[in-house]
A and B are shown apart, each in its own frame.
Chain A
Amino acid sequence: MSVALPAADITRALMRISHEILERNSGSQSLVLLGIPTRGVHLAQRIASNIATIESATVPLGTLDITLHRDDLRMQPPRALMPTNIPSVGIDGRDVVLIDDVLFSGRTIRAALDALGEIGRPKSVQLAVLVDRGHRQLPIRPDFVGKNLPTSLTQSIKVHLMEMDGCDEVLLESQGGAS
């Protein structure tokens, strides 16, 4: 097991992503940030507070659970649903930024796009992830990436965040525990 991204790097990456989101959208007026449970929610909160510091503006922040839109529901036992909170401003005509911890096959994001379609019609949808590990199975790409981490399919990525796990780190684990 090796540390791919230590705490300080995570903080820097999130700060950079916050700046990039503001740059791309020329400010924060039209933004809505949606975190995908569970860890994407905490990342979205951090990005929102970064933006509040940079622009002294509050960005509408919400969560989007995609469980009911997954394409692999029938392959696993039933999953517990996580909360979905759409900010009161809605998403119609807004620039929505989806935020998740790891981008892998792209299937979660496909499900998220389906879920968004049922809530409203955003002006644009952008994707911010802390780690892009490759191996996409769908034509989906991120707009903002904390770190590109080329992996093999036998490896796994573990993201730990202070809010849930007591520390900030991204770990790269090889099968069998050897690193």
Chain B
Amino acid sequence: MKHLLSIADLTPTSAMSILDTAQEMSRVSASSVKKLPTLRGRTIVNLFLEDSTRTRISFEAAAKRLSADVINFSAKGSSVSKGESLKDTAQTLQAMGADAVIIRHSASGAAQWLADSEWMSGSVINAGDGTHEHPTQALLDAFTIRKHLGGGTGDLRGLQVAIVGDILHSRVARSNVQLLTLLGAQVILVAPPTLLPVGVESWPVQISYDLDAVLPIVDAVMMLRVQLERMNDFFFPNPREYSHFFGLNRDRLRTLKSGAIIMHPGPMNRGLEITADCADSARSVIVEQVTNGVSVRMAVLYLLLAGLQEEEPSVNS
């Protein structure tokens, strides 16, 4: 495995090996000296051409804990804002000797494009491309679900996970549907019909328009952010009506199965898709998702960068 571009590239074995590695990495994050020499001398570039808080700092923390050198690059304040193309930017990074590029871009497929190009030779990690995929988010979500509901090992067979909200624009949902299904969980999408993508019938999921019917049966509920920056059409009448039908609030919290967890990839619109008391309740693992994100990203960086890269390498050797 040289790049991590899409969950579709993973097999159940390689996905499990990332989660198992992350499990070991989480011990490092919990120890007093949070530093390993594993990636010493490797250069990792955070190429964030779209805004991000937690993904960027999570990758940065992960790379630094493995002793890699991290160069942060964002569109604002760089030559990208003067109109430099992705090609020129990539060639600049190649010339500086980047071993890996972590890319976030507003265009779907940007990571794949960079990986297929001959502009740079390093690994490419997709940190979110448009409305396509966000594989490390799905991996950290699966890791969190496994830790709480799967005993920390094994796959997710027999679990039911609801993904609620703006499926149409959500790369997190697309990656999660693939990964959770790959690991054996059953995914239920809950959204107004206007926020479901065309062709969703062919996804390996159940679809519901009724959040109240789904909440009592699922083991985990993942609330998605209403992406106000992409709401350039009439998807729902107004935010209050959206909250009324698809928001997680105190009354709905009571109907959850015992042991069920509440997740959110962040950033949250408190009061829109989730109320503050749900986000801060004992059921919520939202803050822990951030912690797990660092472990999962350490695992991905380790598996992609630490070893010798062969022509057809496998994650498990």
Contact = CB atoms under 8 A, between A and B. Distances in A.
Contact of A74 (B27, B36, B306): B306
B317 A77 contact: yes
Given A83-B24, A118-B31, A78 B307 contact: yes
Interface of B: 17, 20-21, 24-25, 27-28, 31-33, 35-38, 66, 302-304, 306-310, 313-317
Contacts of B317: 76-80
A68 interface: yes
Interface string A77-98: 1111111100000000000000
Interface residues of A, number: 19
B306 A78 contact: yes
B307 A74 contact: yes
Best-buried of A73, A80, A81 by chain B (most CB within 10 Å) = A81
Nearest to A85: B27
Given A84-B24, A118-B31, A77 B308 contact: yes
21 contacts: A69-B36, A73-B307, A76-B307, A76-B317, A77-B307, A77-B308, A77-B313, A77-B317, A78-B304, A78-B306, A78-B307, A79-B317, A80-B17, A80-B20, A80-B317, A82-B24, A114-B37, A118-B35, A118-B36, A119-B32, A119-B33
A75 interface: yes
Contacts of B314: 77
A171 B20 CA distance: 32
Contacts of B24: 65, 81-84
A32 to B, nearest CB: 16
A79 B38 contact: no
Given A68-B302, A84-B27, A118-B31, A79 B37 contact: no
